[in-house]
Structure 1
C-alpha cells in the first residue's frame, strides 16, 4: 500500500527534531454547495532541525516514532520569506 503524501506549512518548530505542519483541505459542502476550508495539524519528524516556521513542505506517512509522530518531512517546497 502506498504511503500518503500531504502538503502543508510549518506552524511550529520549537520541539527537537519535530515540526508541526498545518495541512489545509478544500471541499464542497454537500448541502450548502459552498467551498469549505478545513485544516489539521500533524507532528512530523525533522531529523536535522532544518525547517522553520512558514516553510511549505511535503510530509509522508511512516511508522510511529512517538505518541504523536507518524509523519516525516520528505521535501521542502518553498522557504518562508524573511
Structure 2
C-alpha cells in the first residue's frame, strides 16, 4: 500500500465534533453530505498542541 502525504483543505464531516484546528486526521470519501462535504473523518492520527503546551515546552 502506498502512502501519499498531501496538504490540501477538505470539508470533512466530523460527527462526534472531536477534531480541532491543526489535528492530523484520516478521511475517506463518502456520499454527498452537503453542498461541499464529500468526506468523513475516520480517525485522528495526531492531536494539535494547545497554546499552553507550546508555552510549557519553551520553559
| Match runs of 1:28-39 below 5 Å | none
C-alpha separation between the residues in 1 aligned to 2:19 and 2:11? 13
Report the TM-score when normalising by structure 1: 0.52
Which residues of structure 1 form unaligned runs of 5+?
1-5, 8-22, 25-39
Q: State how many pairs are aligned.
A: 47
In the TM superposition, structure 1's runs of 4+ consecutive aligned residues that sit over 2 Å from their partners are none
The Cα RMSD (Å) is 1.7
1:63 to 18, 21, 31: 31
| In structure 1, distance between residues paired with 2:10 and 2:47 | 19
TM-score of the pair, normalised by structure 2: 0.70
Question: Residue 48 of structure 1: CA displacement?
Answer: 1.2
**Higher helix residue share:** 2
